[in-house]
Amino acid sequence: MSQEAIENIYTIPFYPQLNKTPAYKRTPRAIRLLKEFIVKHTKVDFVIIDEGLNEFMWKRGIQKPPRKVKVRAIVETVEEDKIATVELIHEEVEVSTRPELEGIAIPGELEEEEEEEEDEETTVDELPAVEEPEPEPEVEVSTEEEKTE
């Protein structure tokens, strides 16, 4: 009944096996591959997938799971059973460390820029009033034919 936890980081590739799977079964198959990988490498009895990792796997739908995923597996022993809890590792790439990414919009930054643009937009009430020119009065033109009648 020891409560020691062992933590390992794994990068799990899915696409060598998922290329052989029909598109409408790919994400469920990727989740099974993830569980099989963790069982094989950590020798556990049960695998618990974190909610954030599950949402990441299903984010693009059933047909397009991620090509690979980097996870943290925490193995705990509870009453002679080994249980692995798997969670997603979020890594942020800094542009300063990767100069080839300078011109590319990073998804998180793109959303922030759109929010700033929305704040800068002005409404119709804030615009200065524009004076409309007055219409010219109509002038009647008479012709000689009208006078003879």
| CB-CB contact of 16 with 29 (8 Å) | no
Q: Is the pTM of this model over 0.85?
A: no
| CB-CB contact of 39 with 47 (8 Å) | yes
| CB-CB contact of 90 with 69 (8 Å) | no
- Domains of the chain with CATH codes: 5-88 (3.10.440.10)
Mean pLDDT, the chain, rounded, equals: 80
**pLDDT computed for residue 80 by the predictor:** 86
Whole-number percent of the chain with pLDDT over 70: 65
Q: Which residue blocks in the chain are alpha helix, DSSP H?
A: 15-18, 26-42, 51-58, 107-120, 144-148
Distances (CA, A) of 20 to 25, 37, 49, 68: 10, 18, 24, 16
pLDDT tens for each residue of 129-138: 667 777 777 7
pLDDT at 127 over 80: no
pLDDT at 95 over 70: no
Beta-carbon count within 10 A of 68 CB: 11
**pLDDT computed for residue 1 by the predictor:** 45
pLDDT at 17 over 70: yes
